Structure 1
Amino acid sequence: MAADEIKDTKREKILKIIENLSLFDDDLMTLVFDKNILATELLLNIILQRNDLKVIEAVAQREYKNPMAGGRSITIDIYAVDGDSKVYDVEVQCDPSGADVHRARFHSSMIDSKMLREKQKFKELHDSYVIFITKTDVIGGGLPMYHVERVFQETGRAFNDGSHIIYVNGGYIDDEDPVGRLMHDFRCIKSDDMFYKELARQVEYFKETEGGREIMCKAFKDLAEDLAEERAKERAKEKAKELARRLLARGKMTEEEIAEDTGLPLETVRGLAEL
């Protein structure tokens, strides 16, 4: 098969994948919501049951780096700030394991850690919302949404610390309910089938126009290249570990020398030595 034919075949496969994408898929969701104030306002107003929320910033795939050496960082699917400086972290999850309750706690803490400057008072913390939109009903109560708030257990009174966690059931079906219509749109693979024009316009552009499909194809190509690079690094790391194991078994080099020759961290070599 000629090179051009192979290229065309790959493109056709990518276009077929794009055709079946919905807003539950990272690649499309990221492009639709990145810097899209109107779509993000729509999303948050529906989930928070408001009609007056104004978003001033919306960024997809916003990274929050952990200041602790070796600490885990996070990448927020949709990061938003409203006119009252409240911060929103919206996570769109197909896999139920991605909506673990401990992840919600960790995301909330990471957002809080970036809010205050040195010597600012704790009461100056703005409200934060961590919102998980899950493809299935991970909580299992059959409800459209689940709100998590801290309370004093003895009195039932709200703690009112400004931290909010919400789970949205992506499997919820009710075309008479704004949340149901929103989740319907998230599941749609065709813009014509969607209720909300703020979402339909972007889905139509990225999936159904030549310019939008080119952007999607490039995103898939970049993703494939990144994955190939990651796999190559992982293979190289495994080869280095195997070499380190052999050198340790021979017992003729120190752990420090093995670490230097293989390029592995000394801690990794020491861990292999203990096996």
Structure 2
Amino acid sequence: MSDIAKFKYKEEDLKMLAGFTLLDDDFMTIVFDRNIEAAELVLNIILGRNDLKVIEVVAQREYKNPITGGRSIKLDIYAEDSNGKVYDIEVQNDDAGADIRRARFHSSMLDTKMLKEKQKFKEIHDSYVIFITKNDYLKMGLPMYHVERTVQEAGTLFGDGSHIIYVNGSYKDDDDPVGKLMHDFRCTSAADMFYQELAKPVRHFKETEGGRSKVCKAMEERIDRERIETLFDVVKNLMEAMKMSAEQAMTTLKISDADKVVLAKRF
């Protein structure tokens, strides 16, 4: 690739970066990874508290399904507070990614890592799955939706410690902390944000050389992962259709030696 082409590609990356908001999960995970201050702000506002202390924040934490062939997940943001409660914060630009059964699945996967062998069930900590959606996913015009299991006959909470919250990313009210938070999640510029806990890292990743480089590198890595996933599906389909080995299929498709090495680990 020529130097001009490389420069053009970089300019395209920077243009895309300029349009990112915290509702874009790739950008959001970079901003929040290891960022305790930002995570505390978001959780305290959403939970209506001011005393929640976060002790760990990790982006893209993987939860592997113990069943062979079972679906695994990567959490956008995993957080744990000083009382052992765990949080999964997901952002969704697309309604399809905010399916209520996905929230249920995420909640169940969090539970699988809660207890060690022989621990009592009552020792399991509370968990919160929080979906921040670009649109009002549940379409009731509310800023937030708290989902809890209930005893229907008594109309009381079941109280099992499992909590699901949908936050309406389109909610607008600059006099409400949730409204201000969602305003900041929609902003493309740090200068327009209310909360410095968010503005500071957004400014770093959008306006400094080191921050921009990290985001652009992450974008390129994501594109490459998606390319490999597409190649894997094509190879797998050819293997099944033509009864070929992985090597035969990759040779037929004229896949590069470098990509063969990566793909071979998948078969």
Structure 2 partner of 1:92? 91
Partner of 1:75: 74
CA displacement at 1:214 relative to structure 2: 1.0
Say if 2:29 is the partner of 1:21: no
Question: Residues 32-64 of structure 1: CA distance to partner in whole angstroms, max 9, x if unpaired?
Answer: 100000000000000000000000000111101
2:108 partner letter: S
SS at structure 2 position matched to 1:75: strand
For residue 227 of structure 1, what is the aligned residue in structure 2? 226
Q: How many residues are matched?
A: 249
* Deviates further, 11-20 or 216-225: 216-225
| C-alpha spacing 1:173/1:260, structure 2 compared with 1 (3 Å) | closer
TM-score (norm 1): 0.87
Match of residue 191 from structure 2: 192
- Structure 2 stretches lacking a partner, 5+ long: 250-267
How far is the alpha carbon of 1:260 from its aligned partner? 8.8
Q: Percent identity, please.
A: 60
Aligned CA-pair RMSD = 1.5
2:64 aligned with 1:62 = no
Which residue does the alignment assign to 2:140? 141
Secondary structure at 2:157 match in 1: coil
8 A Cα contact 1:243 1:262, kept in partner: no
1:160 is matched with which residue? 159
Task: Kindly provide the amino acid, as one letter, of the partner of residue 147 in structure 1.
Answer: H
The structure having more radius of gyration, on CA atoms, is 1
What CA deviation, in whole Å up to 9, does each residue of 1:4-29 have, x standing for no partner? Answer: 00100111111100000000112210
Q: Deviations over 1:67-86 (max 9, x none)?
A: 11111111111100000000
User: Is residue 52–residue 81 contact of structure 2 (8 Å, CA) maintained in 1?
Assistant: yes
Q: What is the letter of the counterpart of residue 106 of structure 2?
A: H
Q: CA deviation at 1:182?
A: 0.4
Which amino acid is the alignment partner of residue 62 of structure 1? R
Q: Which moved more, 1:181-190 or 1:225-234?
A: 225-234
Amino acid at match of 1:236: V
The whole-number CA distance in structure 2 between the counterparts of 1:25 and 1:75 is 15
Give me the whole-angstrom Cα distance separating, in 1, the residues matched to 2:157 and 2:215. Answer: 45
> How far did 1:262 drift?
6.2
Distance in 2 of aligned mates of 1:50 and 1:36: 19
